[in-house]
Amino acid sequence: MKLGIVGLPNVGKSTLFNSLTKAGAESANYPFCTIDPNVGVVTVPDERLNVLGEMYHTKKIIPAAIEFVDIAGLVKGASKGEGLGNQFLANIREVDAIVHVVRCFEDSNIVHVDGSIDPMRDVETINLELIFSDIEVLDRRIAKTARSARNDKAAAKELKLLEKIKAYLEDGRLAKNFDDFEDEEEEELFQSFNLLTAKPVIFAANVTEDDLPNDGEDNEGVQTLRKYAEEEKCEVFVVCAQIEQEIAELEDDEKKMFLEDLGLKESGLEKLIRASYRLLGLISYLTAGEPEVRAWTITKGTKAPQAAGKIHTDFERGFIRAEVVAYDDLIACGSHNAAKEKGLIRLEGKDYVVQDGDIMLFRFNV
């Protein structure tokens, strides 16, 4: 799962990215790491793993993780190839969701590319670049489809859809809210276009410390942003990137104290990671044993064999059944054996839809 951090220059993207990756660096035992400085692996905080770790006297805990990509360099004119515009837009095409950082803080020492603080203008600048880029993609596809549309029914249908979406974007709307589909087939086609503005968006409103919501009301910029986000069905998340960076540098104990002083339960980053998970419709199932307790990321609705496939493709191919216990049931019983005696360990087949917090053990043929 990959999230791209976008926004105009000097809005706090790198500050946010650095604090995210620094916070994520604790998970040194995470199985994959990357040498690309613009990509950071961030673990998903999950208290359940520690509880299971104690129950199983586990040596190793491996949380779920998401990747964040710092996509710098998006400026006005990017879709026209300004700067390295097209390359940055191509990077966005590869992510599953977008974290759009919006500057809602005043600081005369830090130049704004457009000379003043105006969150809505900034959001529109970035959105327009994304929209232009999508229209270009649609135009290319329209040109290609139009050729075969005269004697090919499917192509004619696709052409109609492409033109409908293009008109929608030309109204300044984001493709993610387009819903004028005639059937499921059209919806699938739409997915295959992989439009930038079809991706889920979280706005990260970067405010000064004093404007963090626990200190009272949202500032004016955040309020307008919230209204817009509601219309476009995006989430807003208020953060002070500078504070996050300071928090990320602290040791665990210090971090707790620092947050308590600020009247917060968790850091903004933890909230952001959770919000991303929710936004993408992701859940975790767990595997637990002495060698390792681990969370595995799946989308809601995933069935047991495909969930098993996250561990190894052989698990999916040779899937026989799964032994499943819900996290709450296991904790209530106190041990795997006690849960078994109470009949709370279930055997589930290939049609079982895996739930968040299921502890799974797969049986499979090799």
Query: At closest approach, how far in Å is the CB of 88 from ligand GDP?
Result: 13
Report if residue 11 touches ligand GDP, rule: CB under 6 A: yes
Pick 135 or 222: Cβ nearer ligand GDP: 222
Report if residue 73 touches ligand GDP, rule: CB under 6 A: no
Query: At closest approach, how far in Å is the CB of 49 from ligand GDP?
Result: 31
Give dist(CA 366, CA 338) in Å, integer: 30
CB of 65 within 8 A of CB of 41? yes
In sequence order, what are the beta bridge partners of 103? 206
Pick 7 or 119: Cβ nearer ligand GDP: 7
Report if residue 241 touches ligand GDP, rule: CB under 6 A: yes
Q: Residues for the chain: how many in total?
A: 366
CB of 304 within 8 A of CB of 319? yes
Among 107, 114, 185, 341, binds ligand GDP (CB under 6 A): 107
- The Cβ of residue 191 has, within 10 Å, a number of other Cβ atoms equal to 10
Helices 268-279 and 241-248 sit at what angle, rounded to 10 degrees?
110
Sheet holding 235-239, edge to edge: 39-43, 65-70, 2-6, 97-103, 201-206, 235-239
Query: At closest approach, how far in Å is the CB of 103 from ligand GDP?
Result: 8
185-224: which residues touch ligand GDP (CB under 6 A)?
Answer: 206, 208
Pick 215 or 231: Cβ nearer ligand GDP: 215
Binding residues for ATP: 10-15
Pick 113 or 353: Cβ nearer ligand GDP: 113
CA dihedral defined by 217, 220, 225, 226, rounded to 10 degrees?
30
- The Cβ of residue 251 has, within 10 Å, a number of other Cβ atoms equal to 8
Report if residue 161 touches ligand GDP, rule: CB under 6 A: no
Among 4, 7, 24, 357, binds ligand GDP (CB under 6 A): 7
Report if residue 14 touches ligand GDP, rule: CB under 6 A: yes
Q: Is 152 helix (H, G, I), strand (E, B) or coil?
A: coil
Report if residue 74 touches ligand GDP, rule: CB under 6 A: no
Report if residue 10 touches ligand GDP, rule: CB under 6 A: yes
Cα angle: 61, vertex 62, 64; to 5 degrees? 140
Among 240, 288, 293, 307, binds ligand GDP (CB under 6 A): 240
Interface with ligand GDP by CB under 6 A: which residues? 7, 9-15, 72, 105, 107, 110, 206, 208, 240-242
